[in-house]
Amino acid sequence: MAHAQKVKFEQPKEFKFSPENMKLVEHHIAKYPKGRQASAVMPMLDIAQKQNDNWIPEAAMEEIARLLDMPRIKVFEVATFYTMYNLAPKGKHHLQFCTTTPCWLAGSGDVVKACEKHLGVKLGETTPDNMFTISEVECLGACVNAPVIQRNGDDFYEDLNPQNVIAVLDGLKAGKPVPKGSHTGRLTSLGAQGATCLTDIATKTGNKVAGEGKK
């Protein structure tokens, strides 16, 4: 097994939003009444993370506190509470595996084991080529398509098993487009019994219609 990379990093001394991102920041702040601008803290953390190669330095949290006129500790509290915010550098693909009960019952343990074996790292570690960081998170809100992985906070890969998740990893490593959503071919969250409404859409997309078998 390859040795997992110990990620060493330094906190940058300064952080400023790019002019383009500053427009986005202003857009979010403007959504809230005067005196309530702190409500923009979550999208601002997300913008900072995307600007800074998928992690949020302390200087960014301080800059957000300054822009929102709120105590730094309150920004830190939000950033440290949610697993979607990374407070240290991650691999190019940060894969967050849901292992909460519905995903676990659907086989997330086997999906995690297959990935750990394929990549040669354990949960919480980064591959030596810095391509993947894998971590464990609580419910990602896509339980009906369990097991689920979230990539870099945006892309969801669903209906995973120990076989199709390897194709996801290999596709990402090769820089190929990896389909988001279900990896067993079902339409969004269509139940195993097949479509019971919107049957015309299900038929067009090759999905099963209840009582009629696979179309």
**Would you tell me which residues interact with ligand FES (CB under 6 A)?**
98, 100, 102-103, 139-143, 146, 148
CB nearer to ligand FES: give 142 or 168. Answer: 142
CB nearer to ligand FES: give 61 or 115. Answer: 115
Helix residue ranges, H only, the chain: 19-29, 41-51, 58-68, 72-81, 101-105, 108-119, 164-173, 199-204
CB nearer to ligand FES: give 59 or 139. Answer: 139
> What would the DSSP string read from start to end of 65-109?
HHHHT--HHHHHHHHHH-TTS-SS---SEEEEEE-SHHHHHTTHH
Q: Which two tokens stand for residue 60?
A: 């960014």
Measured from the CB of residue 39, what is the shortest distance to ligand FES in angstroms?
Answer: 26
CB nearer to ligand FES: give 25 or 137. Answer: 137
Measured from the CB of residue 8, what is the shortest distance to ligand FES in angstroms?
Answer: 32
Question: Contacts from 29-33 at CB under 8 Å and sequence distance 24+?
Answer: 29/67, 29/68
Measured from the CB of residue 108, what is the shortest distance to ligand FES in angstroms?
Answer: 7
Measured from the CB of residue 59, what is the shortest distance to ligand FES in angstroms?
Answer: 33
